[in-house]
Every structure is written in structure tokens, then in C-alpha cells.
Chain A
Amino acid sequence: MLELIKKYINREKAPEMLRWPVIYTLGQAMVRSNLLRFPYRATALMVEYGLEETKKVYNRRLPFVWTSAFFPTELLHALGIPIFSPEVAAALAASFGFQEHFLKEAESRWWGRDNCSFHRCAIGGLFSRYYPLPSAFCASSHLCEGAVLMFSSLARVYNRPFLLLDVPVEQDDDSLSYVTGQLWQIISSLEEITGISFQHEKLQEAVANAEGTRRVLQKINELRLHPYSPFTAKEAFNFLYLNFTGLGSRAMLRVYETLAKELEERIRENNTFKKPPRFKLLWLHLPPFYRNNILEYLEEKGARVVFEEFNHVYWGAMDASRPLESIAGRMLSHFSYGHISRRIEIIKELAAKYDVDGVIHFSHWGCRQSCGSLRIIRDSLQKEGLPFLVLDGDCVDNRNYAPGQVQTRIDGFLEMLG
């Protein structure tokens, strides 16, 4: 089936098919009728939601936006504007094995292989008309500079508005009011672009959803402390789709509530791993999304990734009565932004909390923010006696992935832990 679709992907007509609502309706029906099987009910709910959102962004009549990975999606959920996340779309393309076509398309248009492949893939997807052209490109400046440059460039190429949220490094009152002010401006720009009018209650609702989600996420993270926790890193990485697109939506809250309940049930019923791993590991940054067996291989060798940096709930309580300040506060509090000591402190905190034996950093080719301070991270972890492995690779472009070499490094690392 996948091979058939892959064959189609090179054809001129294929991008058109993505616009057929029936595809998504069919997909949703398959999910609902259990024709497609998922490890959790929450996963099925997430897929259903994902299909609904995708249907909207491919519907030519509705306005929608591209958002960069760390843009505050609460604003868009408040306005009811569908979101297309190019990074998520790239990860999805890679997981289906379609990325190469898009990457080559981007490269042939002078987007060099030095750029992050999440972005190259997204650019190729847009150029080849597989990814939908939005009403506006919305990026935030924190963490990912690549997105800002790509979005602004695409906005110029396609003559669409580019909305930038500039997030300062300092976490003080001035920054808070600076970001809050910009959020207001972005809202009014979005009103103008889409013709949708802003309602304060909807924004409050979105922030209340985000706060509810934050609490459930914290609960899930606590459940993962269980020595036999059934929730694998692979599943956790799949749910990241929501973290990048869903915060502020009722759907994300519902998915995570369901997940928390299921995890509780499984733990209660001993439907968990039967024994604890030999080594517990913390994963930094993202994993590769194309077909690979890193996580399975670790498991096979008795090592389990028990937590991922990306699932850390870094922001504090959000107050629906002060919605924009709460969102601004969330933006400013990202632990990977600003002085590297912030990220290091969180890594140490997570390593201690999940009682890990070692830390793996997957260094994604072209991602400056995550790979920039590896030496400092390693030195700090070593002071704590925490072994640290850097795996060089690429999350989307499998041409930058050497399985044999990755395996040797993992083996060497596990031998070192043993």
C-alpha cells in the first residue's frame, strides 16, 4: 500500500489528492471503527484530531497558518484558525518514507544540505505543492532561528504575510510586557488577514485548556516514574505532534486526559513492562523519524529511554484571567532558550528525577540551538558522574544516518555503563 502511495507521490496529480476531504473522512472512519489499531485509545483520538485538522488546512476555502515549532498555538486555537506545522509535516513525511522527494526538491532550489532537514523537507513539500500554502507564516524567534529565516523567505516568495513573535532572552517584567504587546499585535494582524474576529472569552478558554493540559502532562510525567512504566519513548515522541500544534485546544486536553487514564489503568492492572531495564536513559532533542531501530535496539540491549527532554513541562501555571501574560510567560520560560545553564539545570533535574544511568543527545544535523553547547553539557554532566553519549545524525534526512556507526557508539556506551 505504502509503496503504491510512494509511486504516486512523484506524479503531478498526487498533491491534488491531499485536498480531497473524503480521504480524511475515510481515515477517521477507519480509526473509529478500529480498522486501524493503535497502542492507546489516546493515540486513536490524536490521529482522528490530526486528520480533522489536516482536512481543514487542505480545504482551500478556509484560512490557515503555518506555525514554527515554538509559536504560541493558544492564539490560533482562540481564533479558530487551523494550524499547519511544517516540522511535524516533515517528521510525518519521514516516517512514511516520503522525505527524500521533498528534500531533493528543496536542494534543487538552492536550499543547501546544511539547513535543518525539517525545514528543507517542508520547503520541498511546499514547492512541490504537497504542503498547503497558508494565509500567513507565523514564527517565534526563540530557539529556532532557522524557522524564522525560512518563514520570512517563503513569505516573500509567495507574497504572504510573515508574523514574527520576537522573544527576548531576559526573563523580566519588561520582556513580559514586550511579548504580551506583540501577542496583541499578532492577534489583530491575524484578524485582518483571516477576517475572523477575536473574542476574549475564546482566548480565555484556550488558556484554560492549555493550563488543563499542563497539569495532565505533569501527571503523565509522574506516572512515567513507575519502574515498569508501560509508556515507551517511541510513543511519547509520537504524541509530540500535539505539543507542537495543539496547546490551547480542547482536543489536546482530551487526548492527554485519556492517555493519563489509560496509563493509570495499565499500571493498576500490571499491564506494564515486566521488569525494569538494566539501564535507564534520558533522551535529549528528538529522535530520527524515518525507519530506524535505535530505540528498539536500546531496548533489546536492556536499556530504556525513560524520559525525553521535549516532554518536560517547563512553564508554570497559566491564568485564564490574564491570558496573554500567561502565554508570554510560557514563551519566556523555555529552558533551552538563553543561557545554557538553564538547559543544563533541567537536564540534571530530569536525570535525577528519573534516576537515569546515562544521557543520550541525538545531534540533529543543522540544528544550532540543540547542538551548540554540547561540550558544556557534557562537562557538567560528567561532574555529576552522568555518562553522556552524543549521537550524530539527522531526524529527517536519512542520507545523514549511518546505522552501523550509530550502533557501535550505542554498544560502546552501554558497555561503558555496564
Chain B
Amino acid sequence: MLVAGIDIGSLSTEVVILEKGKILAEIIISTGANSKVAAEKAMQMALEKSGLARDKLQYIIATGYGRVSAPFAHEKVTEITCHGRGAFYLDASVRTVIDIGGQDSKVIRLNSRGKVVDFVMNEKCAAGTGRFLEVMAHALEIDLPEMSRLAPLAKKGVTISSMCTVFAESEVISLIAEGCPREEIVKGIIASVVERTVSMANRVGLDGTVMMTGGVAKNAAVVKALQENLGLKIKVPQEPQVVGALGAALLAEEGLGKRGG
């Protein structure tokens, strides 16, 4: 049984190809301006990596904000269900999933069977999302890994008071102009994202093992700040960015199983 899951986010696109629960290939590329092109490209790369022809894939599920941009997918499932499924597969004790996505951040609660029982998403703005981090990194003229490296060097961190990405960006630019050390600004930026995430987590209520998925989970400084704020340990899988695509692939497999494919 060969299936694939594709997660088309606003910042990156991931593909996971599964054969009987075993990962044959996983691909992460940046989405760029055209999500349709990115979806096609990522799928092609994953097929090449696994040495498979496309017609060998029996079922494909697309997820992520760009899920409509994958005409080759047989089904579309939201990232809420897919992240939940992927996280539960990686660790069956997970009951809470935190995913800071490019433009949508979410906290998902699972029951003991891995089924989504509640979720909260950020309100319709970029505050507290991966996009927010990216814009701020751009203003600081650094990249995201550099952000992660700088944050622990900060002493107190400054307060970024604006929730709005545009205003926060100009706040950051003024701080740079005032000569504020970059690490202090970075710490402030991370604190702002974490604050948003913590309030979402509190809204949905934390339970069991907490896992963080999505690209931002690779940012150790964000994870650390989140752990401190929530007062608990957060589990980060080896490749957090593909959890959505993995969940989609698992659902594809389960669906096929049910249908007897």
C-alpha cells in the first residue's frame, strides 16, 4: 500500500510517502509565490527520492492552507486533523499539539484514541505565527536559525508591545536605530509569539504529553520560552516540519485500509 501526504503551508511545502506505515521519502521545500507549482515540485521530488512512479501512489491527501492547490490529491483534510494524527502516531501519549504555522497557529487537543476533540486557532492576523517571526527576522537582517542562536545571549529582552506585524516591525526597526542589541530584540520577538501561543494553549487547556510540530518547533529559543511560560516540558519530534504531511499520509493509509484498497 503506497500513499502520500502533502502539506502545503504558506511558507513551506512538505511531502511524505508511506509504504505500510514506513516512511519512504520526506521532502521539505519553500512554497514561494505559487503554491500550485510548489505542490507539484515537492511531489515530484518525493517521488524521485523514493524511486517511484506517480501512478504507484494509491491515495494522496493534501493538507495545509494551500490544500486546494494540489489537484492530484484524492482528498483534502485540514492541518488540524493531520497534525493531530501525525503527532499521535509519533507518540501515543500526546494529548496536546502546538503548531505555529506560517499564517495559522493552532493548539489541538486529542483524546486517548488520537482523535481531535478541540482546537483553537489564532485570530485572523499574523501575530503569533511563523510569518511574524519571518518578518521580524527580515527587519533584523538575520535568518531564523540565527534568531535561535541569538536569543540565549540576551539578558532581559525588550518588550515588543505591538501585536500587529506591521507595527511590530516598525517597533523593531526603531529599536535597531536606538542601538538596542539584536539579541535583546530577538528575545522580545520570541516572547511576543510565545505569549500569543500560551494564551491559545490556555484557551484549549493543556493535557498529557505536549508536542510541538511545524517549522517553528525547530527554533529552540521559541520552544524553550514556551516551556518556561507553560511550566512543562514540550516534546519536539525529530522532524517537526513534516508532521502535517505525515498525518495526511497516515490518514490516506487508514482510509485505504477502510476502503479495502
| Interface, chain A (partner B; CB < 8 A) | 375, 382, 387-388, 392, 400, 402, 404-405, 408-409, 411-412, 415-416
Given known A392-B124, A412-B78, A415-B78, contact A405–B119 (CB-CB < 8 A): no
Given known A375-B203, A392-B123, A415-B77, contact A405–B104 (CB-CB < 8 A): yes
Among A375, A388, A405, the residue within 8 A (CB) of B124 is: A405
Contacts of A382 in B (CB 8 A): 118
Distance (whole angstroms) from the CB of A255 to the closest CB of chain B: 37
Assess whether B124 is in contact with A402, with CB atoms less than 8 Å apart.
yes
Distance (whole angstroms) from the CB of A365 to the closest CB of chain B: 10
Contacts of B77 in A (CB 8 A): 411, 415
Contacts of B117 in A (CB 8 A): 387, 416
Q: Which residue of B lies closest to A401 (CB)?
A: B124
**A to B CB contacts below 8 Å, 24 in the list:** A387-B117, A392-B123, A392-B124, A400-B124, A404-B65, A405-B104, A405-B124, A408-B104, A408-B121, A411-B76, A411-B77, A412-B78, A412-B79, A412-B80, A412-B81, A412-B119, A412-B121, A415-B78, A415-B81, A415-B116, A416-B80, A416-B81, A416-B115, A416-B116
Q: Which residue of A lies closest to B120 (CB)?
A: A390
Contacts of B121 in A (CB 8 A): 405, 408-409, 412
Assess whether B65 is in contact with A412, with CB atoms less than 8 Å apart.
no
Distance (whole angstroms) from the CB of A293 to the closest CB of chain B: 14
Assess whether B78 is in contact with A411, with CB atoms less than 8 Å apart.
yes
Distance (whole angstroms) from the CB of B221 to the closest CB of chain A: 27
Q: Which residue of B lies closest to A389 (CB)?
A: B119
Q: Which residue of B lies closest to A405 (CB)?
A: B124
Contacts of A412 in B (CB 8 A): 78-81, 116, 119, 121
Q: Which residue of B lies closest to A414 (CB)?
A: B78
Q: Tell me the complex Cα distance, A412–B78, Å.
A: 6
Given known A387-B118, A416-B117, A416-B119, contact A408–B81 (CB-CB < 8 A): no
Contacts of A388 in B (CB 8 A): 118
Among A387, A392, A400, A408, the residue within 8 A (CB) of B79 is: A408
Q: Which residue of B lies closest to A416 (CB)?
A: B116
User: 1/0 contact trace for B77-91 toward A, CB 8 Å?
Assistant: 111110000000000
Contacts of A404 in B (CB 8 A): 65
Q: Tell me the complex Cα distance, A402–B65, Å.
A: 12
Distance (whole angstroms) from the CB of A11 to the closest CB of chain B: 34
Distance (whole angstroms) from the CB of A397 to the closest CB of chain B: 12
Q: Tell me the complex Cα distance, A411–B116, Å.
A: 12
